[in-house]
Amino acid sequence: MTAHDAETTGPGELKERGQLVASLGSSLRSGATSLGTVPKLLEDLLTTGGWMDFVTRLGDHITYEPGEFADFVETLPLQGLGADLAVVERLIGPRPDLLAILYDLTPARSRGRPKNMDDVQNFSGHPSDAADEEPGPEPRKKQCNGNNVENIMRKLARDRPDLLEEVTAGRMKAYTAAVEAGWRRPQTTIPLGDPEAVARKLLDKLGTDQARQVCATLSQLVAETSSNA
């Protein structure tokens, strides 16, 4: 962020942007989201880039670089919104076009940092391929519950906006969209301890043909194990 001392009143457009920033920041801090004005104010700032260059009502000329949107959101008023990125992300709601802009303007969160966006938070919770992954400094489970879901959303915004729209509309989970896009393998949880429950789960998930193949493979493996015992 750069603050310029404005000795004279700035151009009308810059002052209008500053008023927009002040109105949005005030609404975010007061929680007045039910009026329906916050999404529109946010949309205007995101789509026009007005947050990068504006004049406050005190006459301060404020400029931000394209990669400083997070700073703009967190900077105290009147030079910023005085809010939190998670709140901004949540307010965007089912708008994949605005999410794509937001993701383009902000870096990915650090590994393991939980997301607060309600529309995205519920997409996690699927088991991971921990056994297939090389040991690393962070457990795979921690990544999947936080940053990994965000990475899926960002990748959808960049490469599959059609699937991003399905996710933000609540018609598909982020994990399912990643499978649909071919980025992840389908996974499921098998209830152990009850052979019939295991069989029914596999039949439900695999279908008749694949279930028969699994059954034949299991029979062969059991026979080989018995002969080697």
What secondary structure does DSSP assign to 137-180, as a single string?
SS-HHHHHHTHHHHHHHHHHHHH-HHHHHHHHTTSS-HHHHHHH
Which has the closest alpha carbon to 89: 81, 126, 183?
81
| pTM for the whole structure | 0.58
- AA letter at 127: P
pLDDT at 32: 55
pLDDT at 54: 94
- Report the alpha-carbon distance of residue 116 to residue 106 in Å, rounded: 15
Half-sphere exposure of 87 (CA within 13 A, CB side): 17
* Distances, alpha carbon 94 to alpha carbons 78, 132, 156, 199, in Å: 28, 34, 14, 38
- AA letter at 83: A
Residue with the two structure tokens 């599959």: 160
pLDDT at 171: 92
Measure the N-to-C terminal CA separation of the chain; round to a whole number of Å: 71
pLDDT at 146: 40
Buried b (16+ CB within 10 A) or exposed e, 205-226: ebeeeebeeeeeeeeeeeeeee
User: What is the mean pLDDT for each group of 10 consecutive residues in the chain (229 residues)?
Assistant: 54 89 86 66 92 93 93 93 88 88 82 37 35 41 51 90 90 91 85 80 82 86 80
Number of neighbouring beta carbons within 10 Å of residue 162: 12
pLDDT at 36: 64
- Report the alpha-carbon distance of residue 173 to residue 167 in Å, rounded: 6
